[in-house]
Amino acid sequence: MNYQAKLSTPFGMLGIRCGADALTGIDFLELGATPQPPSQAFAREVCEQLQAYFIDPNFHFNLSLKLNGTVHQTKVWQAISAIPPGQTRSYGDLATLLTSSPRAVGQACGANPIPIVIPCHRVVSKSGIGGFIHQRGGNALDIKCWLLAYEKQSNQGVC
């Protein structure tokens, strides 16, 4: 995968994909990935805003996004973007809001190309943490738990 930057975070390396003026993707990279300085001005802005978030979980991202998804996915991603830091919504809550099903909401969450900026980690199961980036275990859920705890959700028993 070609990245315009690779950013070190408290839980691992993020791969940043973007064009000259829009963010197109953030990937959680394998252990051992090495940092890569931004190769362009917009990638530098993305990294600066992500670093600001890791200093202050209430930081509000202000980035142009280029999303390629279905109409349903786009609606789910917009609804997710409205969830404030430190709060969560269940897949069922979003399904009710969007006249959808919890499973369809979960699939759209898993297909989110820009996690953290579109905070799909704030969407949980009614009975627990749920999945993250199409995974139900391992490092992905560790990252989701870290993000929720960072945003002060660990005290509600989600992780």
Instruction: Give 149: exposed, middle or buried? Use CB within 10 Å, 0-12, 13-18, 19+.
Output: middle
Residue carrying structure tokens 């997710």: 80
The gap between the terminal CA atoms of the chain, to the nearest Å, is: 31
DSSP readout, 31-63? TT---B--SSHHHHHHHHHHHHHHH-TTPPP--
Q: Which of 18, 47, 109, 120 is catalytic?
A: 120
Cα distances from 144 to residues 11, 41, 134, in angstroms, run: 10, 29, 12
Which two structure tokens, joined as six digits, stand for 103?
């499973």
12: Cα within 13 Å, side-chain hemisphere: 18
**Active-site residue 120, yes or no?**
yes
Residue positions annotated with a catalytic role: 120
